[in-house]
Amino acid sequence: MTASRPTTRPRKEPSSAKPGRKAAARRSGAGHRTDLLEAMLRIRRFEERCVELYSAARIRGFVHLYIGEEAVAVGVTGALEPGDAVVSTYREHGHALARGLTPESVMAEMHGKATGCSGGRGGSMHLFDASRRFYGGSAIVAGGLPLAAGLALADLMRGLPGVTCCFFGDGAFAEGEFHETANLAALWNLPLLLVCENNLYAMGTALAREHAQTDLAMRAASYGMPAWAVDGMDVEAVEQAARRAVGGIRAGAGPHFLELRTYRFRAHSMYDPDRYRDKAEVERWKSRDPIARLTERMRDGGELDDEALARTEQRLAEEIDHAVTAAERAPEEPVGDLLRHVTSAPYGEVSRP
Ligand SMILES: Cc1ncc(C[n+]2csc(CCOP(=O)(O)OP(=O)(O)O)c2C)c(N)n1
Ligand SMILES: [Mg+2]
């Protein structure tokens, strides 16, 4: 195959990267911290409810919890605009909710109902909403990376200003797809934000048993892109880093890489007995809980009191109750519709030789 280099934007130096005026206006203030806290709490409470429903066999299939990592989804999506695209993983409830998919549409999807964001066909690992440019949800480790490069390339070639943001794990970093994507993205100066959620494990395999060099940001930088490691347990630090990176990408400096150092408080999935981690290690990371950290910071600054927190918790509980009730009452897709979306034209209308 021959392909000319599709760069239509000249590469600029990353040092010119500055957040736009709109981003700067949103950056500080108690109101913004309240939004960040609420967004993280929504994800935490939503997933805690999923655990209850799963234990009662009211939802089934694979479920990978994001609990502990909420600062990453909330901080990064806080730096994005509606026209930007997001590509996610199978641990994506947090990414989807932070991107604005409603708890109702995600909960219905968890229940396999027709009102779910993927029409009930995807379940926990395949949340999708093209109207929000949220392009899944995929069970294939690293599978989202080349798709994200394709979306970024399409936006670039069409002259659209969007940034494509791709979430993936430290395990995905070990896959060829990451390295192929990073190389082409840098070569073609793609508007791509690579967000590596380094939670120190790929299923039961610890980072140091999988990577000869565990400094992932340094390795990403070797592709010729700006790359930083960030405290992924501090939502404000994540948002600040993401704004800087997105600013650089919009200014034409090409792909950027963020390594978010984070931790999942729960097992890999609902099936995992979690026997490969020292309990003391889990407790140490829990003491850095991103929700508790922001709450404390806000209390210290006089921006939050018990009453305000209780009101937020109450509102979120009602929102999630409503999502569960609606999901349980929602219809399943009629059997007669099951072949829709399987072929490009409705079944029976496809011409056959
Ligand atoms: C291509 C591929 N290989 C293996 C698997 C099995 N698998 C599912 S999750 C996972 C670990 C991925 O770890 P990481 O990328 O660090 O993400 P995390 O689960 O920690 O969020 C593996 C190996 C898979 N789904 N796809
Ligand atoms: Mg991992």
pLDDT band at 342 (very low <50, low <70, confident <90, very high): confident
Q: Can you say whether the dihedral through the CA atoms of 277, 279, 285, 286 is positive or negative?
A: positive
The residues, ordered by sequence, that sit 6+ positions from 311 with a Cβ below 8 Å of its Cβ are none
Domain count, the chain: 1
Tell me whether residue 116 is exposed, middle or buried, using C-beta atoms within 10 angstroms of its C-beta: 0 to 12, 13 to 18, 19 or more: buried
| pLDDT tens for each residue of 242-254 | 999 999 999 999 9
What's the 205 CA to ligand 1 centre distance in angstroms? Answer: 10
| Residue 351 belongs to a domain | no
Residue located nearest, by CA, to atom 6 of ligand 1: 141
Ligand 1 pocket member 201 (CB < 6 A): yes
Ligand 1 pocket member 174 (CB < 6 A): no
Beta strand 227-231 with 164-169: parallel, antiparallel or unpaired? unpaired
Strand partners, 166: 87, 194
| Residue 25 belongs to a domain | yes
What's the 142 CA to ligand 2 centre distance in angstroms? Answer: 11
User: Does 347 have pLDDT greater than 60?
Assistant: no
Ligand nearest to the CA of 72: 1
CB 242 within 8 A of CB 248: no
Measured N-to-C along each axis, helices 30-55 and 103-110 cross at an angle, to the nearest 10 degrees, of 20
Residue 175 structural domain? 21-329
- pLDDT score recorded for residue 32: 96
Q: Give me 29's structure tokens.
A: 């203030």
Ligand 1 pocket member 91 (CB < 6 A): yes
pLDDT band at 25 (very low <50, low <70, confident <90, very high): very low
Q: How does the average pLDDT of the chain come out, rounded?
A: 92
**Ligand 1 nearest atom to the CA of residue 173, by list position:** 15
Give the residue, out of 141, 266, 269, with the most ligand 1 atoms within 8 A of its beta carbon, to mutate for a pocket test.
141
- pLDDT score recorded for residue 20: 41
User: Does 157 have pLDDT greater than 60?
Assistant: yes
Ligand 1 pocket member 75 (CB < 6 A): no
- pLDDT score recorded for residue 340: 85
**Ligand 1 nearest atom to the CA of residue 139, by list position:** 25
More confident of the two residues 151 and 351: 151
CB 206 within 8 A of CB 236: no
Whole-prediction pTM: 0.92
What's the 37 CA to ligand 1 centre distance in angstroms? Answer: 29
- pLDDT score recorded for residue 26: 53
**Ligand 1 nearest atom to the CA of residue 64, by list position:** 19
Ligand 1 pocket member 199 (CB < 6 A): yes
pLDDT band at 3 (very low <50, low <70, confident <90, very high): very low
User: Does 220 have pLDDT greater than 90?
Assistant: yes
| Residue 2 belongs to a domain | no
User: Does 84 have pLDDT greater than 60?
Assistant: yes
pLDDT band at 19 (very low <50, low <70, confident <90, very high): very low
| Residue 4 belongs to a domain | no
- pLDDT score recorded for residue 338: 85
On the CB side of 286, how many CA atoms lie within 13 Å of its CA?
Answer: 9
What's the 201 CA to ligand 1 centre distance in angstroms? Answer: 9
Ligand 1 pocket member 203 (CB < 6 A): yes
User: What's the CATH number where 305 sits?
Assistant: 3.40.50.970
Mean pLDDT of 153-159: 97
| Residue 345 belongs to a domain | no
Residue with tokens 């994540």: 238
pLDDT band at 98 (very low <50, low <70, confident <90, very high): very high
Q: Can you say whether the dihedral through the CA atoms of 279, 282, 284, 289 is positive or negative?
A: negative
| Residue 7 belongs to a domain | no
Largest CA distance in the chain: 72
What's the 91 CA to ligand 1 centre distance in angstroms? Answer: 10
Q: Taking CA 108 as the corner, what is the angle to CA 104 and CA 114, rounded to the nearest 5 degrees?
A: 120
- Backbone region of residue 137 per phi and psi (left: phi > 0; alpha: psi in -120 to 50; beta: other values): left
d(CA 281, CA 233): 15
- pLDDT score recorded for residue 344: 74
End-to-end CA distance of the chain: 30
Q: Which of 5-9, 232-236, 237-241 has the lowest mean pLDDT?
A: 5-9
Q: Give me 341's structure tokens.
A: 């979306």
Ligand 1 pocket member 138 (CB < 6 A): no
DSSP state of 173: H
User: Does 172 have pLDDT greater than 60?
Assistant: yes
Strand partners, 228: 258
- pLDDT score recorded for residue 346: 60
**Ligand 1 nearest atom to the CA of residue 169, by list position:** 15
- Counting residues of the chain whose pLDDT is more than 90, the rounded percentage is 86
d(CA 59, CA 85): 29
| Residue 14 belongs to a domain | no
| pLDDT tens for each residue of 208-219 | 999 999 999 999
| pLDDT tens for each residue of 275-319 | 999 999 999 999 999 999 999 999 999 999 999 999 999 999 999
- pLDDT score recorded for residue 213: 98
**Ligand 1 nearest atom to the CA of residue 140, by list position:** 26
Q: What is the 3-state secondary structure (H, E, C) of 184-213?
A: HHHHCCCCEEEEEEECCEECCEEHHHHCCC
pLDDT band at 4 (very low <50, low <70, confident <90, very high): very low
What's the 169 CA to ligand 1 centre distance in angstroms? Answer: 8
User: Does 223 have pLDDT greater than 60?
Assistant: yes
**Ligand 1 nearest atom to the CA of residue 202, by list position:** 13
Mean pLDDT of 176-189: 98
CB 86 within 8 A of CB 80: yes
User: Does 8 have pLDDT greater than 60?
Assistant: no
* Helix H or strand E segment including 164: strand 164-169
d(CA 317, CA 305): 18
Ligand 1 pocket member 207 (CB < 6 A): no
| Residue 300 belongs to a domain | yes
